[in-house]
Amino acid sequence: MKRPPLQDVVCFSHLRWNFVFQRPQHLMTRCAADCRVFFFEEPILDADTPHLEVHADRGVFVAVPHLPPATGGGRRAAAIRTLLEELLARYAIARPVLWYYTPMALEFSRGLLHSAIVYDCMDELSGFAGAPPGLLRLEAELLASASLVFTGGHTLFEAKRQRHAHVFPFPSSVDVSHFARARRAQADPPDQAPIGRPRLGCYGVIDERMDLGLVAEVARLRDDWQQIFIGPVVKIGESMLPRRHNIHYLGMKKYEELPAYLAGWDVAMMPFARNEATRFISPTKTPEYLAAGRPVVSTSIADVVKPYGHLALANIADDGPAFVAAIESCLGAADHAWLPRVDAFLADLSWDRTWAAMQALVVEAVERGARRDRRTNLRAGLPGPPPADRSIPSV
């Protein structure tokens, strides 16, 4: 018998919905095809009085708490909890699946009635610059209460697998048809068109995970190569970015625009630093670059080396001369004989397949929790939980 789809999902994220389109957005938009999804963001400190802004995007209800700037500490958690309870009441959300991207959300969400708790650990946030105090303590609490733990890659899976009974690795996936548009000849976007060739491109957040020294060295070693960076600069000052005539920062672009930029690149690169912030990452851009038909050069990030490096789907190099040599080998390749191997590998790596596998595990966890609740209620002589009102009020 076919299992019923999930009911309500409340997702707590440290990343904003309208930020770089990545794992949370890919998964929650697919989840929203079968149930109501409420994406609860971190607060914006810009209001005279606390209030909740809710809008719908791609089928997801995005909830943004607004608080006065002076709201801090325990008062902030209490204020967010009040707005969260307002959301639950306004939309008649009963016993949802609670889906966490950040353990910090426990400060205002612990104790909520739920049908299951999912911790989708996409990064080791404690290794990032500016990680909040108490993160590791709250992660331990979340791991103790979670029904399921997903990890954003295999390296992260190895780090978490002994800490929970139900841990599953789901590495970065890809929407192949979206990025395959880059394989077609097309006009350059206006801000990229004037840039010469050859072009080395990279998109994504520019922060402490980027090896800026490597970027500068490659630009110096090959003065005629043009490096193009697309994405927001966060947690580091603009003054830290290497500046040369052959380095171009084009700013943040929409997800829908990325294939047009990729189509004009000769090589896609991932000059990641090797530090605590990158130790466990599984870059989403790896399969996206490959789906676009771009050769990839990356530093030795564990989840890029295995499987992409081992399968000769990506070139791995760490210092300036080696990185330049790897790019030269890509530029010198006259054919695309490697693309059939890329396509065969990516065939099993779609976000649709990833979400279907995740959904099945979450439905099992919900059923497992319901059976446990029934046993508890029977022992106590209590009835089971009432069914939720499935009506959907307007935003």
Place of tokens 């439905």: 363
The full set of domain ranges for the chain reads 9-173+351-380, 176-346
**pLDDT (tens digit, 9 = 90+) per residue, 204-241?**
999 999 999 999 999 999 999 999 999 999 999 999 99
Helix (H) or strand (E) holding 362: helix 351-380
b/e 89-110 (16+ beta carbons within 10 angstroms → b): eebebbbbbbbbbbbbbbbbbe
Per CATH, 9-173+351-380 and 176-346 having the same topology is answered: yes
DSSP bridge pairs for 56: 61
Place of tokens 């979450």: 362
DSSP bridge pairs for 167: 149
Q: Domain 176-346's class?
A: alpha beta
Q: Domain 9-173+351-380's class?
A: alpha beta
Q: How confident is the model at residue 363 (pLDDT cuts 50, 70, 90)?
A: very high
238, 240, 245, 250: CA torsion to nearest 10? -40
d(CA 292, CA 281): 21
d(CA 289, CA 309): 14
Give one DSSP letter per residue of 203-261, joined into a string.
ES-BSTTB-HHHHHHHHHH-TT-EEEEES-B-SS-GGGS---TTEEE-----GGGHHHH
Look at residue 382 and tell me whether its pLDDT is greater than 60.
no
Q: Is 233 exposed, middle or buried (0-12, 13-18, 19+ CB in 10 A)?
A: middle
- As given in the structure block, the two tokens for residue 302 are 């564990």
What are the two backbone dihedrals, phi and then psi, of residue 226, each rounded to the nearest 5 degrees?
A: -105, 125
**pLDDT (tens digit, 9 = 90+) per residue, 230-288?**
999 999 999 999 999 999 999 999 999 999 999 999 999 999 999 998 999 999 999 99
For residue 24, is the peptide bond before it cis, meaning its omega torsion is within 30 degrees of 0?
no
Q: Is 201 exposed, middle or buried (0-12, 13-18, 19+ CB in 10 A)?
A: buried
**pLDDT (tens digit, 9 = 90+) per residue, 57-104?**
999 999 999 999 988 778 999 999 999 999 999 999 999 999 999 999
256, 258, 264, 267: CA torsion to nearest 10? -150
**pLDDT (tens digit, 9 = 90+) per residue, 135-191?**
999 999 999 999 999 999 999 999 999 999 999 999 989 999 999 999 999 999 999
